[in-house]
Chain A
Amino acid sequence: MRAESAFSVPVKLWALLCVLVGVSFGGNVLLTCILTGFAFVYLLLQRNIRLVISYGCFYLLLALLLVAIRYHGLHMVVFSEFYVLMFWNLSAVVLVSWDLITTPPGELSAFLSRIHAPTALILGLLVVFRFFPTMRAELKGVGRSMKNRGLTAPKQLLLHPLVSFEYVLVPFLLRVLQIADQLSVSAVARCAERPGVRGSYYGRKMTYRDIAMIAAWTVVTVGFVFLGRRFA
């Protein structure tokens, strides 16, 4: 299972720190492919194959564009050379951050509990993770309801854009308040206000695999910075 092959949260944080240091201090932008390449290996080891394939295709496209820009004088108005190079440079950061933020919230909160983070911070984090999927469903509901009542007709949207915006905003904001209220009640009723250290269901310990990955990221980053400075 994917959850079992995933690295623990400290490894993910260390990987993010490494790519941030690497991208910031490395002297050669093109060589960031070393970091990105290792990020792909890191994802494959966690069996995140979908992300590797989808981002891999995008990365390949960036490589082709770079070749076309460098050797064939390609110049695009909308997606200029600057953006191509920026995405190329930041790919490793994007991949590693995405992997971190898609970690199950329970594992993140377990890590935060272990380092004795304040309960308010942990609960805040859990709420943020719940918030986005819930809101997406709510917005869909509002849109459908407006369509049903004929409030999304082009004439209505063009002639009364502000009113239409209000139609979306008012029920949406009210729903946000309502959900916040229900979540708070549910938290209070389940002892969330108790002071002291929070326990955790996920009692994951660092394994040799995790330690090896921390070492690997360190070696790759140091090597990359060293190489980058040499070929700057």
Chain B
Amino acid sequence: MIELKNVTFQYADAERGVYDVSLRVDKGECVVLTGLSGCGKTTLTRLVNGLAPAYYQGSLSGEIRIDGRDIRSMKSWEIGQLVGSVFQEPKSQFFSSEMNGEVAFASENCGFSGEEIRRRTDEAIRRLCLIPVRDRPLDKLSSGEKQRTAIASVYALRPKVFVCDEPTANLDEEGIVELAQTLAELKSAGYTLLIAEHRLAWLMELADRFVYLKDGRIIQEYIPEAVSALPEEERKGMGLRRVTTGAASLRSDSHIKKGTLVLQAKRLSKRNQKVKILDNVSFGVQKGSVTAITGKNGAGKTTLALLLSGLVRQSGGEVLLNERKARAACRRKHVYYCSNDMSTQFFTASVSEELLNTELTESKLKSARELLKRMGLYAYKDAHPATLSGGQKQRLAVACALFSGREILILDEPTSGLDGANMELIAAELRAAANAGITVIVITHDPELIECCCDNILEIQDRFDTPPWKCEIQYHREP
């Protein structure tokens, strides 16, 4: 179905690309492309769906065939009818604010009759189990439902191949399970799947082969059993994520020093107009600990983080810092919030300025230099933050938090979409910060991050549960 022969592609505006890649994916097969960030897996998906070189320009040599046809002889819409593409962030690719319009979009472009478009749209919505949420505005859907809507919109065209580029980057555990089921159904119906992904655990039953890429080249192909059999050290050395699913557990050597509660929430509530987002939430966090806040998408985790960091005012209850009641303005001086939206985080013209937009001293310069080196960003110190890759931006955002000098850091999904090596790097930095007395809270769906660096887990129960809100804290050891 997909055949690449000695394909080399070099982007016109960057040094990255893929080199001498040969790959064959048969009909009904599911192949996963994996490897470190920047290894070329996204580029390969772009070559298969024709976006490179049609949209992402560059020089291409070698041969790419889809369903026996040379891709170079096909127009972009012909490829679109054959290869359906699902991207990382569905919400920024929606053309409509409601589901029918969005799912129908591709069929409308293909100029089918109204009746045919409605038939295909209804069938896609039914097939992707979206009927219960069909009348909801798209921005009110959970991230899993948004991703399924994105799949439905290409499914309506009945392509023969589905190409997914990191489809789980913004999904919680439940969203991932739903996505895995959907893709498994597509595969059993005979569709061919090509998935570029860091997280491997959810693909172990779905995938037929894993293709490991490094620096734009295919290094090795594995069957799932071979990936499972990789010794942990070797897997980590390759920068791969873990291959087993399961609930997050705390790191084995976690310990909590007895001491004062540096941050406390007491009966904290937040409503938006009439909607209760959080109600009656109480907990405490100890100095020098790393706490994970988990819960489903939409449970109110980010709202809780914004409340704690003083960026949003609570509707009821109070926040205590070092056992003293702290107003929002006071919290902003002591708590740093690192958002998961990298696009709105950086304001200056270079990576180094981003860290150093305060008064400069020799010791500060030195520690900034060291931090950038540890984060693998020193080579980019004069680059504009906007030119960094996604993973580099995430590392820079964490570096800004660590360098802020505030005693409490709250990080929202700091490792979503990161490969294993970068995830471990961030986990190690957070651990080191905690050992130096800084209190860290991470909002995360990433069980590996929790395992690597967290001392306790605070789980916010679904907000659709009946009140009072449950806010369960699982401590590894009683504090």
**A associates with B:** yes
Q: What are the residues of chain B within 8 A of A193 when measuring CB–CB?
A: 75-77
Does A190 contact B80, Cβ atoms closer than 8 Å? yes
Q: Does B423 sit within 8 A of A, measured CB to CB?
A: no
Contacts of B118 in A (CB 8 A): 201, 203
Given known pairs A151-B347, A199-B110, the reply for A104 and B104 (CB within 8 Å) is no
A148 touches B332 (CB 8 A): yes
| Chain B residues, Cβ within 8 Å of A190 | 80, 85, 105-106, 109, 153-154, 157
CB distance from A128 to the nearest CB of B (A): 11
A113, A148, A193: which has the most chain B beta carbons within 10 Å? A148
Can you list, as one digit per residue, whether each of A133-155 has a CB less than 8 Å from chain B (1) or not (0)? 11000100110111111110000
Q: Which residues of B contact A184 (CB under 8 A)?
A: 55
Say if the beta carbon of A70 comes within 8 Å of chain B. Answer: no
Q: Which of B96-114 contact A (CB under 8 A)?
A: 96-98, 100-101, 104-114
Binary CB contact string for chain B from 18 to 60 against chain A (1 if under 8 A, 0 otherwise): 0000000000000000000000000000000101001100000
Q: Mark B69-84, 1 if CB is under 8 A from A, else 0.
A: 0000001110011000
Does A189 count as interface, using CB distance less than 8 angstroms? yes
Q: Say whether B178 faces chain A, with CB atoms less than 8 Å apart.
A: no
> Which residues of chain A are near B466, meaning CB under 8 Å?
none
B135 smallest CB distance to A (angstroms): 9
Per DSSP, are chain B's interface residues mostly helix, strand or loop, or mixed? helix
Nearest to B154 among chain A residues (CB) is A190
B114 contacts A203, CB within 8 Å?
A: yes
CB pair A185–B93 under 8 Å, yes or no, is yes
Q: Is residue B185 within 8 Å, beta carbon to beta carbon, of the partner chain?
A: no
Q: Quick check: A191 and B114 within 8 Å, CB to CB?
A: no
A186 touches B95 (CB 8 A): yes
Q: Cβ of A130: which chain B residues have Cβ within 8 Å of it? A: 94-97
Complex: how many Å from CA A202 to CA B105?
A: 11
Contact in complex: B93, A182 (CB < 8 Å): yes
| Size band of the interface chain B makes with A | 35 or more
Give every chain B residue within 8 A of A170 (Cβ-Cβ).
Answer: 347
- With both beta carbons as reference points, the residue of chain B lying nearest to A146 in the complex is identified as B347
| Pairwise interchain contact B108-A199, C-beta atoms closer than 8 A | yes
B332-365 interface code vs A (CB 8 A; 1 in, 0 out): 1100110101011111000000000000000000
Complex Cα–Cα for A125 and B306 (A): 35
Beyond A148-B309, A183-B92, A199-B110, whether A191 also contacts B76 by CB under 8 A is yes
Instruction: Give the distance in Å from the alpha carbon of A215 to the alpha carbon of B309 in the complex.
Output: 59
Tell me if B115 is interfacial: C-beta within 8 Å of chain A. Answer: yes
CB-based nearest B residue for A114: B114
Stretch at the interface among A43-51, A85-93, A172-180: A172-180
A73 proximal to B (CB < 8 A): no
What are the residues of chain B within 8 A of A200 when measuring CB–CB?
A: 108, 114, 117
B100 CB contacts on chain A under 8 angstroms: 106, 201
Cβ-defined contact, A186 with B343, below 8 A: no
B89 located at the interface, meaning its Cβ lies under 8 Å from any Cβ of chain A in the complex? yes
CA gap between A154 and B114 in the complex, in Å: 56
- B347 near A198 (CB under 8 angstroms)? no
Whether the Cβ atoms of A198 and B109 lie closer than 8 Å is yes
Using Cβ atoms and an 8 Å threshold, which residues of chain B touch A138? 343-344
Contacts of A133 in B (CB 8 A): 97, 139
State A171–B349 Cα separation when bound (angstroms): 10
Q: How far is the CA of A144 from the CA of B310 in the complex (A)?
A: 10
Q: Which residue of A lies closest to B135 (CB)?
A: A1
B319 CB to closest chain A CB (Å) equals 16
Chain B CB within 10 Å — which of A183, A184, A186, A202 has the most?
A186
B141 at the binding interface (Cβ < 8 Å): no
Residues of B contacting A148 in the complex (Cβ-Cβ under 8 angstroms): 309, 311, 332, 336-337, 339
Residue contact A147 to B101, C-beta cutoff 8 Å: no
A127 to chain B, nearest CB (A): 7
Q: Chain B residues with Cβ under 8 A from A106's Cβ?
A: 96, 98, 100-101, 104
In Å, the complex CA distance between A187 and B54 comes to 13
Say whether B104 contacts A203, CB under 8 Å.
no
A188 at the interface (CB under 8 A from B): yes
B386 interface residue, CB < 8 Å from A? yes
Complex alpha-carbon distance, A196 and B98, angstroms: 25
Q: Please give, as numbers and ranges, the residues of chain A lying within 8 Å of B344 by CB-CB distance.
A: 138, 141-142, 144-145, 171, 175
A105 touching B76 by the CB < 8 A rule? no
Q: Which residues of A contact B8 (CB under 8 A)?
A: none
Shortest CB distance B378–A (Å): 22
Docked pose: A200 CA to B116 CA in angstroms = 10
- Whether the pair A194, B111 counts as a contact (CB closer than 8 A) is yes
Considering only CB atoms, which chain B residue lies closest to A196 in the complex? Answer: B111
B77 pairs with A191, CB closer than 8 A: yes
| Chain A residues in 8 Å Cβ range of B121 | 201
Given contacts A130-B97, A183-B93, A199-B113, 5 further A-B contacts (CB under 8 A): A104-B101, A174-B343, A194-B109, A201-B114, A201-B117
**Can you sample 14 A-B contacts with CB below 8 Å?**
A113-B108, A119-B109, A126-B95, A130-B97, A144-B339, A167-B347, A171-B343, A182-B87, A190-B109, A194-B109, A199-B114, A201-B100, A201-B114, A203-B118
Binding site for B on A (CB under 8 A): 104-106, 109, 113, 119, 123, 126-127, 129-130, 133-134, 138, 141-142, 144-151, 166-167, 170-171, 174-175, 178-179, 182-194, 196-203
Q: Which are the 9 A-B pairs with shortest beta-carbon distances?
A: A203-B114, A186-B93, A106-B101, A194-B77, A201-B104, A141-B344, A190-B106, A191-B77, A191-B80
